[in-house]
């Protein structure tokens, strides 16, 4: 009965999603499915710190062709490339962006001196943006900004695989209601939240990620007024001023079922998850509103033995995490900074650090803190991929 109901709902969503790809003003219905309950290395690219992930501590329970159980891979509806990636993004200055509201979220990256933002209202409709940055000595950094609206998870992936540059597209498939991108060089399928290739010739290969931050448009334009922002000139006819998934962000309903339903927190609460050797811990915004009443605060903690610092600001709407141990093995101690437009924390050596984890003053000026395996996402998705995930 559950399988029949799930099939009927999938067919219904296919019709709705196909219409949404053709008409600007269509939204997706969010009826709740019956849920099926089933019991680092750091490398450099153009001199930047990247992070090669592990397999997230998830066992190979597939049938030989997938690293995940293929009967849990679902057809999302629109089909392969039915949700089109943006492969030639266009950018504008902050002052020239007029389609974003203050509360809209953006994903931000900094490569060298270049700072760019990718708005959720565009990513909601495309999910993947393939971009490149030109650095010093004509060194290029190739990134894929991918965002899954159903799990609220956004990341930056290195597009260089096995020494070749590829682009990623939307496969139309989902696992635990999470995006499965595919790389166009090999047609292999990747799990966004697992951070690895789950099917195809690159099966088992780990993706290399680049650190990014997620915050509101209000905070972004105040902190980075000279940055470049992806605009709505995508080459596609989409209603970027409207959210295509109805009340999904605020309801407790899911479009597709997940293997494990963790209801300890509201399903759609945005949390920062940090992963260390397959063990995950999530951090909530309200953990920072209770500390001394300050605007920006930090928590020095450890995840599976990895010493980290988590910096958060509930009003400015950001949560980021970095490793406390530097490349030379020094364990730093941090203190939040409140009144600096550029720095968010200082350490016991006298260094000041910005939101991207860069030392902008002090003896370590020019250094960057090692990134953590971390990203923002809806709590239910962390519970589905990391059973009994620890909540700070």
Is residue 156 within 8 A of residue 195, CB to CB? The reply is: no
Task: Decide if pLDDT at 319 tops 80.
Answer: yes
Length of the chain measured in residues: 392
Query: Residue 43 domain-assigned?
Result: yes
Query: Residue 186 domain-assigned?
Result: yes
- Statement to judge: residues 36 and 100 lie in one domain: yes
- Statement to judge: residues 184 and 293 lie in one domain: no
Residue 28 CA to residue 251 CA, distance in Å, equals 13
The Cβ of residue 363 has, within 10 Å, a number of other Cβ atoms equal to: 9
Task: Decide if pLDDT at 257 tops 70.
Answer: yes
Task: Return the pLDDT at 44.
Answer: 45
Question: Nearest 5°: phi and psi at 178?
Answer: -110, 145
Task: Return the pLDDT at 136.
Answer: 72
- Statement to judge: residues 274 and 244 lie in one domain: no
Query: Residue 20 domain-assigned?
Result: yes
Is residue 216 within 8 A of residue 102, CB to CB? The reply is: yes
- Statement to judge: residues 198 and 229 lie in one domain: yes
Residue 178 CA to residue 349 CA, distance in Å, equals 42
Provide the terminal-to-terminal Cα distance of the chain, rounded to the nearest Å: 38
- Statement to judge: residues 184 and 301 lie in one domain: no
Instruction: Give the residue with greater pLDDT, 53 vs 156.
Output: 156
Average pLDDT over residues 36-65: 44
Task: Return the pLDDT at 291.
Answer: 57
Task: Decide if pLDDT at 59 tops 90.
Answer: no
Lowest mean pLDDT among 34-43, 163-172, 295-304: 34-43
Task: Return the pLDDT at 8.
Answer: 39
Query: Residue 263 domain-assigned?
Result: no
User: Where residue 139 falls among pLDDT bands split at 50, 70, 90?
Assistant: confident
Residue with the two structure tokens 């293929």: 70
- Statement to judge: residues 175 and 91 lie in one domain: yes
Task: Return the pLDDT at 184.
Answer: 98
Burial of 361 (0-12, 13-18, 19+ CB in 10 A): middle
Average pLDDT, rounded, for the chain? 86
Q: Among 184, 219, 250, where does a domain finish? A: 250
Q: Among 250, 278, 300, where does a domain finish? A: 250
Task: Return the pLDDT at 290.
Answer: 57
pLDDT digits (tens, 9 = 90+) for 16-49: 344 344 333 333 333 333 332 222 333 445 655 5
- Statement to judge: residues 334 and 233 lie in one domain: no
Average pLDDT over residues 124-146: 92
Please give the structure tokens belonging to residue 77. Answer: 């509806």
pLDDT digits (tens, 9 = 90+) for 99-132: 999 999 999 999 999 999 999 999 999 999 999 9
Average pLDDT over residues 213-221: 97
Query: Residue 260 domain-assigned?
Result: no
Lowest mean pLDDT among 53-57, 149-153, 331-335: 53-57
- Statement to judge: residues 365 and 226 lie in one domain: no
Query: In the chain, how many domains are there?
Result: 2
Average pLDDT over residues 188-217: 96
Q: How many helices (H) and strands (E) does the chain have?
A: 5, 29
Task: Return the pLDDT at 293.
Answer: 53
Query: Residue 255 domain-assigned?
Result: no
Strand order in the sheet with 188-191: 73-75, 168-175, 178-183, 188-191, 196-199
Long-range contacts of 302-307 (CB under 8 A, 24+ apart): 303/274, 303/275, 303/276, 303/279, 303/372, 304/276, 304/277, 304/278, 304/279, 305/276, 305/277, 306/276, 306/277, 306/372, 307/331
Residue 298 CA to residue 287 CA, distance in Å, equals 9
Residue with the two structure tokens 């079922």: 257
Task: Return the pLDDT at 160.
Answer: 96
Task: Return the pLDDT at 58.
Answer: 38
Query: Residue 261 domain-assigned?
Result: no
Residues of the domain holding 325: 270-377+384-391
Task: Return the pLDDT at 295.
Answer: 86
Q: Among 222, 250, 278, where does a domain finish? A: 250
CATH number of residue 307's parent domain: 2.102.10
Average pLDDT over residues 346-361: 97
pLDDT digits (tens, 9 = 90+) for 260-298: 999 999 999 999 999 999 999 999 998 887 555 568 999
Task: Return the pLDDT at 47.
Answer: 53
Residue 78 CA to residue 66 CA, distance in Å, equals 22
- Statement to judge: residues 209 and 88 lie in one domain: yes
- Statement to judge: residues 45 and 177 lie in one domain: yes
Average pLDDT over residues 249-256: 95
Query: Residue 37 domain-assigned?
Result: yes
- Statement to judge: residues 235 and 369 lie in one domain: no
Q: What is the pTM of this model?
A: 0.85
Task: Return the pLDDT at 287.
Answer: 87
- Statement to judge: residues 71 and 138 lie in one domain: yes
């Amino acid at each position: 009965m559950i399988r029949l109901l799930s099939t009927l709902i999938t067919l219904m969503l296919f019709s709705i999603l196909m219409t949404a790809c053709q008409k600007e003003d269509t939204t997706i219905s969010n009826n709740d499915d019956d849920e099926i309950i089933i019991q680092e290395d750091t490398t450099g690219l153009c001199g930047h710190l990247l992070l090669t992930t592990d397999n997230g501590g998830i066992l190979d329970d597939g049938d030989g062709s997938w690293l995940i159980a293929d009967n849990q891979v679902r057809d999302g509806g629109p089909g392969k490339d039915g949700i089109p990636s943006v492969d030639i993004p266009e950018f504008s200055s902050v002052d020239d962006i007029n389609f974003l509201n203050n509360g809209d979220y953006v994903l931000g990256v900094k490569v060298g001196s270049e700072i760019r933002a990718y708005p959720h209202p565009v990513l909601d409709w495309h999910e993947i943006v393939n971009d490149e940055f030109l650095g010093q000595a004509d060194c290029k950094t190739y990134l894929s900004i991918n965002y899954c609206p159903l799990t609220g998870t956004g990341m930056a992936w290195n597009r260089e695989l096995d020494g070749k540059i590829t682009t990623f597209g939307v496969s139309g498939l989902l696992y635990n209601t999470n995006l499965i991108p595919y790389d166009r060089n090999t047609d292999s399928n990747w799990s966004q939240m697992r951070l690895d290739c789950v099917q195809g010739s690159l099966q088992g290969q780990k993706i290399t990620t680049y650190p990014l931050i997620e915050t509101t448009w209000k905070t972004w334009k105040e902190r980075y007024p000279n940055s470049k922002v992806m605009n709505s000139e995508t080459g596609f006819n989409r209603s970027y001023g409207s959210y295509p998934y109805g009340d999904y962000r605020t309801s407790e309903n899911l479009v597709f079922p997940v293997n494990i339903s963790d209801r300890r927190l509201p399903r759609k609460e945005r949390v920062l998850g940090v992963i260390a050797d397959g063990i995950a811990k999530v951090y909530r915004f309200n953990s920072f509103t209770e500390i001394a009443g300050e605007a920006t605060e930090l928590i020095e903690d450890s995840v599976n033995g990895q010493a980290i610092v988590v910096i958060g600001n509930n009003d400015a709407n950001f949560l980021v995490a970095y490793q406390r141990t530097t490349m030379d093995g020094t364990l730093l101690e941090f203190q939040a900074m409140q009144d600096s437009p550029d720095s968010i924390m200082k350490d016991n050596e006298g260094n000041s650090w910005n939101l991207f984890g860069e030392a902008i003053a002090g003896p370590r000026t020019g250094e960057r803190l090692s990134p953590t395996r971390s990203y923002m996402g809806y709590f239910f998705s962390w519970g589905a991929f990391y059973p009994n995930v620890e909540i700070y």
